[in-house]
Amino acid sequence: MKSWKLSMLAAAAMTVASVTAAKADIVIAVVGPMTGQYASFGEQMKRGAEMVVKDLNARGGVLGQKVKLIVGDDVCDPKQAVAVANKLVSQKVAFVAGHFCSGSSIPASSVYAENGVLQISPASTNPAFTDKRAGPGVFRVCGRDDQQGGIAGKYLATKFKGKKIAFLHDKTAYGKGLADNTKAVFEKMGGKVVMYEAYTAGEKDYSALVSKLKANGIQVVYLGGYHTEGALIIRQAHGQGYKPQLISGDALVTDDYWKISGPTGEGTLFSFSPDPRKNKEAASVVAAFKKQKYEPEGYTLYTYAAIQVWAQAAGKAKSAKFGPIVKAMHANEFSTVLGNLKFDKKGDVSLPGYVWYVWKNGKYNYMK
């Protein structure tokens, strides 16, 4: 009799355990520079991730389970990125939306690939991220620097023909990759580079670099790097009575650029994908952000879209496991705030081409 009762209790316990497991949260993560000089981009990613997880859970979650979000801070540092990736693996995350900086995404991708964790970066544009893919579960919902560089190199060669042009980069995977891709197209179209210089990110005084640009009569500066250094360089140039045209890439798509540059940033040009805030598919989400008194600029909606893709892929695969979901990523089209997205064999996404923006009166808008 006791044996029978024990068997019944054991069976009941197993039933409760299986029900509990079935209802367990699916844990995902968003990782970027939540602190440090690029924290404005981390904030964009965090806001996008929090909003989409809230929206998913309000609709019943994913596969009937609630989604739990972990926020990781890599400070855009490669070593920290690997440490965060290993920690997330130990926390059994099913998916990572991240990282932001290419220099972080690339080494972290090896950790995720080795442990069967799907990764979709909202923002890492260096071609090596998918060209030298760490594994089948590596994707991005943003463009690539060879695409962005192609647009920028052609623009420099045609619009600034005959001008003295310098290329600067911050030695990072993103900054150097963008500068080099742009420079290659510029030279292919007959452009002549007067200066090609590296600078160290995180410094406060770029007066020596500015003096060198001025002494060489540089009229146009193409910067492969982030908004903080770009803003400091143009501000310090104006401080020397020197006003070159500054042109850069998508890392200037943050209001923090103007907070640093002030009026000296007037007329700065940068390339970025068409503003996703204007997509009809994003209208309700943008309205929800604005209700929170938050402007979903830059990579906010890209992060939202990355998690949308994961959720829809899990639904198509009827599983959050690595193998089935990777197959679903390649086999389907996904409806997101960025529009309908499809991925190629490398994990790159179909997106509209890059366009130009200009900073005026403290805001950036499409260049007419």
pLDDT tens digits for 284-317? 999 999 999 999 999 999 999 999 999 999 999 9
Of the residues 272, 287, 306, which one is the last residue of a structural domain? 272
The token pair at 169 is: 């980069």
Instruction: Flag whether 361 is in a domain.
Output: no
Alpha-carbon distance of 332 to 354, in angstroms, equals 24
Instruction: Flag whether 38 is in a domain.
Output: yes
Omega of the bond leading into 99 within 30 degrees of 0 (cis): yes
Residues 16, 135, single domain; the answer is yes
Instruction: Flag whether 352 is in a domain.
Output: no
Query: What pLDDT is stored for residue 368 in this prediction?
Result: 75
Find out whether 210 and 236 touch, Cβ atoms under 8 Å.
Answer: yes
Query: What pLDDT is stored for residue 124 in this prediction?
Result: 97
Residues 237, 181, single domain; the answer is yes
Name the E strands within the chain: 26-32, 67-73, 95-98, 118-121, 138-140, 165-169, 193-198, 220-224, 245-248, 269-272, 334-336, 339-341, 355-360, 363-366
Number of structural domains the chain divides into: 2
pLDDT tens across 98-136, in order?
A: 999 999 999 999 999 999 999 999 999 999 999 999 999
CATH of the domain at 325: 3.40.50.2300
Residues 191, 336, single domain; the answer is no
Instruction: Flag whether 285 is in a domain.
Output: yes
Q: Which residue in 33, 26, 100 sits closest to 303, CA to CA? A: 100
Query: What pLDDT is stored for residue 231 in this prediction?
Result: 98
For 296, list phi and psi in degrees, rounded to 5. -80, 65
Domain that holds residue 261: 146-272
Alpha-carbon distance of 89 to 169, in angstroms, equals 33
Q: Which residue in 100, 99, 103 sits closest to 174, CA to CA? A: 103
Instruction: Flag whether 357 is in a domain.
Output: no
Widest CA span in the chain: 97
Unique residue bearing structure tokens 């940068």: 270
Of the residues 211, 246, 272, which one is the last residue of a structural domain? 272
Q: How confident is the model at residue 16 (pLDDT cuts 50, 70, 90)?
A: very low
38 pLDDT above the threshold of 50 = yes
Residue type at 319 in one-letter notation = S
Q: How confident is the model at residue 20 (pLDDT cuts 50, 70, 90)?
A: very low
Q: How confident is the model at residue 15 (pLDDT cuts 50, 70, 90)?
A: very low
What lies within 8 Å, CB to CB, of 204 at 6+ separation is 232
Residues 74, 139, single domain; the answer is yes
2 pLDDT above the threshold of 60 = no
The token pair at 291 is: 């209700």
Query: What pLDDT is stored for residue 23 in this prediction?
Result: 67
Rounded to 5, what percent of the chain is helix, strand, coil?
Answer: 50, 20, 30
Residues 292, 334, single domain; the answer is yes
Q: For 209-238, what is the mean pLDDT?
A: 98
Query: What pLDDT is stored for residue 304 in this prediction?
Result: 98
Residue type at 199 in one-letter notation = Y
Q: How confident is the model at residue 7 (pLDDT cuts 50, 70, 90)?
A: very low
Alpha-carbon distance of 34 to 72, in angstroms, equals 8
Q: How, if at all, do strands 355-360 and 363-366 pair?
A: antiparallel
Instruction: Flag whether 368 is in a domain.
Output: no
Q: For 145-169, what is the mean pLDDT?
A: 97
The token pair at 28 is: 């995902």
pLDDT tens across 59-102, in order?
A: 999 999 999 999 999 999 999 999 999 999 999 999 999 999 99
Q: Which residue in 55, 57, 49 sits closest to 95, CA to CA? A: 49
Query: What pLDDT is stored for residue 173 in this prediction?
Result: 94
Of the residues 272, 305, 331, which one is the last residue of a structural domain? 272
Residues 21, 117, single domain; the answer is yes
Find out whether 334 and 323 touch, Cβ atoms under 8 Å.
Answer: no
Query: What pLDDT is stored for residue 351 in this prediction?
Result: 81
Instruction: Flag whether 150 is in a domain.
Output: yes
Residues 246, 129, single domain; the answer is no
Residues 128, 21, single domain; the answer is yes
Query: What pLDDT is stored for residue 88 in this prediction?
Result: 98
Q: Exposure string (b/e) for 127-162, b if CB count within 10 Å is 16 or more? A: bbbbeebbbbbbbbbbbbbbbbbbbbbbbbbeebee
Residues 204, 283, single domain; the answer is no
Instruction: Flag whether 211 is in a domain.
Output: yes
Query: What pLDDT is stored for residue 54 in this prediction?
Result: 98
Using the Cα atoms of residue 217, residue 220, residue 225 and residue 228 in order, give the sign of their dihedral: positive
Residues 49, 158, single domain; the answer is no
Residues 139, 15, single domain; the answer is yes
Residues 285, 227, single domain; the answer is no
For 135, list phi and psi in degrees, rounded to 5. -175, 180
Q: Exposure string (b/e) for 344-357, b if CB count within 10 Å is 16 or more? A: eebbbbebeebebb
340 pLDDT above the threshold of 90 = yes
Alpha-carbon distance of 262 to 24, in angstroms, equals 49
